């Protein structure tokens, strides 16, 4: 059978607190009940002792005529007694064990033959099929011995009445306690209800942080977590809006160029101009295709929190493959493209396809902005014991003010735009280094870019 657990936090708190309170309350009631029984029993024993002392005092005072003592004790049994008052039965013996006096219903008990004076002695006996509580007490001079007794059922009745009077307020207080628990839980959950109402009342585009100035300490981590989430969502949405706007702008440029060149080709009657316009159409289509590919690649990389299937990779082999794949482009522009690697293997755990994309983007950037007869070098090694990949070129470099922003999406430095050589489609999309940086993050590496002292640019992937 499935357990039914309330789906409401308030119901869970009420159920848990109510059950815990009820258990404690019942335990307290049981303990109080038995404690009251015990105290009532002690009270009855005290009454027996008091009756025995009074009887001894009366016997010592009326030693000449014990028949008067009997008459005096009989007068104590009247109808004006208190409901809790007990009427003990008694026996009085002399020093030799001779029974001197007894009440009418006193149980048949024996003279306690002990020499000298001894403390009062309690005992439980049965008389006429009923249990009795008996106290035996001897006078200080040892001449008299007194026994007083109560029927146990009368003692239990008094004890039960006392314990019941103690337990009744506890039982009657339970409904009041339940109400107090309900209103206390409801009041305690009011800040959460207010927070929930605040979040529910917000419009979808309202990502401002929550302001709960008097939130209880227990809800502050929740409020802080929600505010961090809202901040991240706001930043993500801002990035997406900016990315969408930039992508639309970047796509509009090559498409507009393709349209213009197509119109020129249609209007041109000169075969040379016609061919030139068609080549420009193809170049614009290639640029738009690369831009779309880069956008799709970024869209696939952004949601990833980690690599889906990392494996051990040899960076030198991966670098050599990328150099060979781009060598025809370098040769066509008379650029020297080479790779260097240390003799010992340099391995990392990662995704071979993603790292190949990163290396190709770095190499394409270097090829695009390096002039003819310039050099591009792809190197692999260890620095401070950590794998490192670098790409160096003899191009124009970039303005120092542009270095921190080169990995931003769609950002191109002013000098790079001027120096684009057209080897790989002319001006870049502004997404290549952003893709490299995202791939580096997924591999636990960082992208570093700096100008070389002798001229040119160096891009590095440094594992940490």
Q: Are residues 316 and 451 located together in one domain of the fold?
A: yes
What's 278's domain CATH number?
A: 1.10.287.130
Single residue among 111, 142, 173 that ends a domain in this structure: 173
Is 377 inside a domain boundary? yes
Residue range(s) defining the domain that contains residue 246: 221-303
pLDDT tens digits, one per residue of 187-218: 877 777 777 787 788 787 787 887 777 777 77
Is 193 inside a domain boundary? no
Is 185 inside a domain boundary? no
Stretch among 31-40, 386-395, 444-453 having the lowest mean pLDDT: 31-40
Considering the chain, what percentage of its residues have pLDDT values greater than 90? 16
Q: Are residues 147 and 30 located together in one domain of the fold?
A: yes
Q: Are residues 358 and 290 located together in one domain of the fold?
A: no
Please tell me the total count of domains within the chain.
3
Q: Are residues 315 and 249 located together in one domain of the fold?
A: no
Q: Are residues 399 and 326 located together in one domain of the fold?
A: yes
The string of DSSP letters for 17-69 reads: HHHHHHHHHHHHHHHHHHHHHHHHHHHHHHHHHHHHHHHHHHHHHTTT-HHHH
Stretch among 76-85, 233-242, 432-441 having the lowest mean pLDDT: 76-85
Specify the pLDDT at position 348.
93
Q: Are residues 318 and 441 located together in one domain of the fold?
A: yes
Is 200 inside a domain boundary? no
Q: Are residues 47 and 107 located together in one domain of the fold?
A: yes
Q: What rounded mean pLDDT belongs to the chain? A: 79
131, 140, 162, 139: which is closest to 42 by C-alpha?
Answer: 162
Strand partners, 450: 458
Asked if 359 contacts 322 with a C-beta cutoff of 8 angstroms, the reply is yes
Which letter does DSSP use for residue 400 in this model? G
Q: Are residues 247 and 326 located together in one domain of the fold?
A: no
Is 207 inside a domain boundary? no
What's 142's domain CATH number?
A: 3.30.450.20
Single residue among 303, 318, 340 that ends a domain in this structure: 303
Specify the pLDDT at position 425.
45
Q: Counting beta carbons within 10 angstroms of the beta carbon of residue 194, is it exposed (0 to 12), middle (13 to 18) or buried (19 or more)?
A: middle
Q: Are residues 53 and 93 located together in one domain of the fold?
A: yes
Single residue among 303, 332, 361 that ends a domain in this structure: 303
Q: Are residues 349 and 396 located together in one domain of the fold?
A: yes
Q: Are residues 226 and 117 located together in one domain of the fold?
A: no
Contacts of 182 (CB under 8 A, 6+ apart): 14
Is 26 inside a domain boundary? yes
Q: Are residues 456 and 314 located together in one domain of the fold?
A: yes
């Amino acid at each position: 059978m499935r357990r039914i657990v309330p789906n409401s936090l308030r119901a869970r708190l009420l159920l848990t607190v109510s059950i815990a309170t009820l258990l404690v309350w019942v335990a307290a009631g049981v303990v109080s009940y038995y404690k009251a029984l015990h105290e009532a029993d002690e009270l009855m024993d005290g009454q027996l002792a008091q009756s025995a002392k009074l009887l001894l005092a009366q016997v010592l005072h009326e030693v000449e005529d014990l028949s008067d003592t009997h008459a005096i004790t009989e007068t104590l049994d009247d109808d004006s007694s208190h409901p809790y008052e007990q009427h003990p039965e008694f026996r009085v013996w002399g020093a030799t064990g001779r029974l001197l006096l007894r009440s009418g219903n006193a149980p048949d008990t024996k003279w306690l033959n002990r020499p000298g004076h001894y403390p009062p002695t309690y005992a439980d006996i049965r008389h006429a099929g009923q249990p009795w509580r008996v106290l035996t007490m001897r006078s200080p001079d040892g001449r008299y011995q007194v026994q007083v007794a109560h029927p146990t059922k009368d003692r239990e009745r008094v004890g039960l009445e006392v314990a019941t009077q103690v337990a009744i307020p506890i039982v009657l207080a339970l409904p009041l306690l339940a109400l107090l628990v309900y209103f206390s839980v409801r009041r305690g959950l009011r800040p959460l209800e207010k927070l929930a109402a605040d979040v529910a009342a917000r419009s979808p585009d309202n990502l401002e942080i929550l302001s709960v100035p008097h939130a209880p300490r227990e809800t502050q981590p929740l409020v802080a977590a929600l505010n961090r989430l809202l901040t991240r969502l706001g930043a993500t949405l801002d990035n997406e809006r900016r990315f969408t706007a930039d992508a639309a702008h970047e796509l509009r440029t090559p498409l507009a160029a393709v349209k213009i060149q197509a119109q020129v080709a249609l209007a041109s009657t000169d075969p040379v101009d016609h061919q030139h316009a068609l080549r420009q159409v193809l170049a614009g289509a290639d640029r738009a295709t690369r831009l779309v590919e880069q956008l799709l690649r970024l869209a696939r990389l952004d949601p990833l929190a980690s690599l889906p299937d990392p494996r051990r990779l040899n960076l030198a082999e991966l670098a050599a493959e990328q150099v060979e794949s781009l060598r025809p482009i370098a040769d066509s522009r008379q650029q020297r493209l080479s790779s260097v690697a240390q003799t010992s293997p340099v391995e990392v755990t990662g995704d071979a396809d993603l790292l190949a994309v990163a290396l190709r983007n770095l190499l394409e950037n270097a090829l695009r902005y390096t002039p003819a007869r310039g050099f591009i070098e792809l190197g692999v090694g260890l620095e401070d014991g950590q794998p490192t990949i670098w790409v160096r070129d003899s191009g124009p470099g970039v303005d120092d003010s542009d270095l921190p922003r080169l990995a931003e999406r769609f950002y191109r430095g002013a000098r790079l735009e001027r120096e684009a050589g057209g080897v790989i489609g002319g001006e870049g999309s502004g997404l290549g280094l952003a893709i490299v940086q995202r791939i580096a993050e997924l591999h636990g590496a960082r992208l570093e870019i700096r100008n070389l002292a002798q001229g040119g640019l160096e891009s590095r992937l440094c594992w940490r």
